[in-house]
Structure 1
């Protein structure tokens, strides 16, 4: 049996691929940003951080991500009961759905096939099927002739490739567009359930957790395919690396602030500013050389050491059931609003 090579970097987010580049030398980073192969735009719209990445064939070779357009919307301060944050995220989501589909023409007779990928019995993987449920409920109250919704389950349940199900539906329905909703993996714990990625490149289901299935894309089906993803899981090694980073920065901040008025005037337990520019060399005598490494270098160390453990762990927030419900409703509401705006 041939050995299967698995990429354990565990991310489906394009701007995290760009972050890998940012950890290289400044010269290499500038070279990538200057090339016509990858165009990166970053800006904020109120609380929403928007990252737009356009990749051509040359850029595909540079960062290992498929040619196309990727739009990542993130609210770093989002929490489960944050209505304002969800409202802003939904508003931006509708806006960029419209932008990424500016070349897709829909009329009153057009059909849009919406596929909810994932396993409904495993909560972190259920955002796709739950979004389909939410859309079907909305469609009962406010019927739309444009959406055709389907949750095909996963290969482990059906015994068939998800791509085959979608292909059969595309041939039967002949939609103008296919929208695929799926849970993603991230390599940054701060991204968990706080991000939506939209891309016109399609998707490889399961690729973020080392279980890659057949591609779902325009090249396979012959019609435009847009993937909508929400990161709900992260590799446990990332959690470890993030925790070590926070400990190192907290101690470095305390050492540097020691004796300053900011610490002496505090009337309660003093908390150092770990976001400030810190000289990590101050903790080198305590922890050694590795305390001055970059976050990415330490993460790579943990991955190399822990990769030999057969019990690799994937982590999800404890409130993941609430997050999934929130996002299923958000995606459903946004898609109906976008369709109403797109087809007048």
Structure 2
């Protein structure tokens, strides 16, 4: 049977609610809004929540800002500050800890280049702390960053590369950035998910890889993800739903076309979708302006991480260290 693919906890909750009444067992939800930016916290508390949501126990905080697609500089700065606050909320961040930032993904494929793009603008200071400690002292936090590539480029599992770096440099905290999959086109490059449960590289496009999490690395892992693709089968399924609902408003319920769609069960819809879309193709869809969207959202994420990790530096000082 066709299943909707999504990496977002808020969407997993929406899917569960569509088929069940009442609150989800083992899941806590908290929502708030900040001048056009919606912040949703989904907390999976126990195994009941894991079974319902299909995600590990932990916190999943989503920053949803639909107007980011219009390139609003004031909104971008606001989202970066909110992201910094969320990072501080779910991680023990201070200038005394050592942080490693990992940009996951393939820099040769635009929808998957989010992680590498973010690492380009991270304020890296580990070398400064070690080589000229008297000049910087405790004013900066030790931060290192790397984009390790993907299995197809290196021939090495990303998790193996990350573990070797962690074992050698011994950071206190790991922050990963990766591209995700959403079930809604409107969430592409406008939604940021932050979790403390780690990540499996490539999961957004259905690639099962070794997990990067606290269990495998021995240190806390904060995963930051942004949806950049939507499963084509999901779009087809949602389009059929929209069409059925639109016909209710615009045509007679006795219309033969409406009756055909309305009377189709889920299995019939999925069979039709599979017939139209070759299941072997595994199509993923991304916007035509994805290069611009990746550039903008990666800049927002790097600013948010820098603000969280370097609270004693001004924006001008950060820019000097980056460039």
Is the contact made by 1:106 and 1:343 (CA closer than 8 Å) also made in structure 2? no
Q: Distance in 2 between matches of 1:290 and 1:172?
A: 59
- Deviations along 1:17-55, one digit per CA (max 9) or x if unpaired, are 1111111132xxx142xx3x1111223222112211111
Q: Distance in 2 between matches of 1:148 and 1:7?
A: 41
C-alpha root-mean-square deviation of aligned residues, in Å? 3.1
**Where does structure 2 lack aligned partners over 5 or more consecutive residues?**
128-135, 315-323
- Shift of the alpha carbon at 1:226? 0.4
Is the contact made by 2:126 and 2:142 (CA closer than 8 Å) also made in structure 1? no
Within 5 Å, give how 1:22-61 maps onto structure 2.
Answer: 22-26=17-21, 30-32=22-24, 35=25, 37-58=26-47, 59-61=49-51
- Shift of the alpha carbon at 1:208? 2.1
Q: Distance in 2 between matches of 1:299 and 1:93?
A: 39
Is the contact made by 1:60 and 1:66 (CA closer than 8 Å) also made in structure 2? yes
Q: Distance in 1 between matches of 2:145 and 2:291?
A: 22
Q: Distance in 1 between matches of 2:255 and 2:75?
A: 39
Rate the CA distance shift 1:329–1:306 in 2: closer, same or farther, 3 A.
same
1:310 maps to 280
Structure 1: 4+ residue segments shifted above 6 A: 137-140, 296-299
Rate the CA distance shift 1:125–1:282 in 2: closer, same or farther, 3 A.
same
Q: Distance in 1 between matches of 2:78 and 2:53?
A: 30
- Shift of the alpha carbon at 1:298? 8.5
1:228 maps to 224
2:297 maps to 327
- Deviations along 1:283-324, one digit per CA (max 9) or x if unpaired, are 764321533779x88875565545653222110011100011
1:243 aligns with 2:239: yes
2:121 maps to 134
1:287 aligns with 2:258: yes
- Shift of the alpha carbon at 1:138? 10
Is the contact made by 1:188 and 1:234 (CA closer than 8 Å) also made in structure 2? yes
Normalising by structure 1, report the TM-score.
Answer: 0.78
Rate the CA distance shift 1:307–1:40 in 2: closer, same or farther, 3 A.
farther
Is the contact made by 1:290 and 1:298 (CA closer than 8 Å) also made in structure 2? no
Rate the CA distance shift 1:146–1:298 in 2: closer, same or farther, 3 A.
farther
1:106 maps to 94
1:340 aligns with 2:316: no
Q: Distance in 1 between matches of 2:50 and 2:242?
A: 33
* 1:135 match: secondary structure: coil
Query: Relative contact order (C-alpha < 8 Å, sep 6+): which is higher?
Result: 2
Among residues 3, 7, 10, which one is paired with 2:5 in the alignment? Answer: 10
* 1:282 match: secondary structure: coil
Is the contact made by 1:98 and 1:342 (CA closer than 8 Å) also made in structure 2? no
2:166 maps to 170
1:218 maps to 214
Is the contact made by 1:237 and 1:302 (CA closer than 8 Å) also made in structure 2? no
Rate the CA distance shift 1:286–1:158 in 2: closer, same or farther, 3 A.
same
Q: Distance in 2 between matches of 1:138 and 1:248?
A: 56
- Shift of the alpha carbon at 1:113? 0.1
Rate the CA distance shift 1:254–1:303 in 2: closer, same or farther, 3 A.
closer
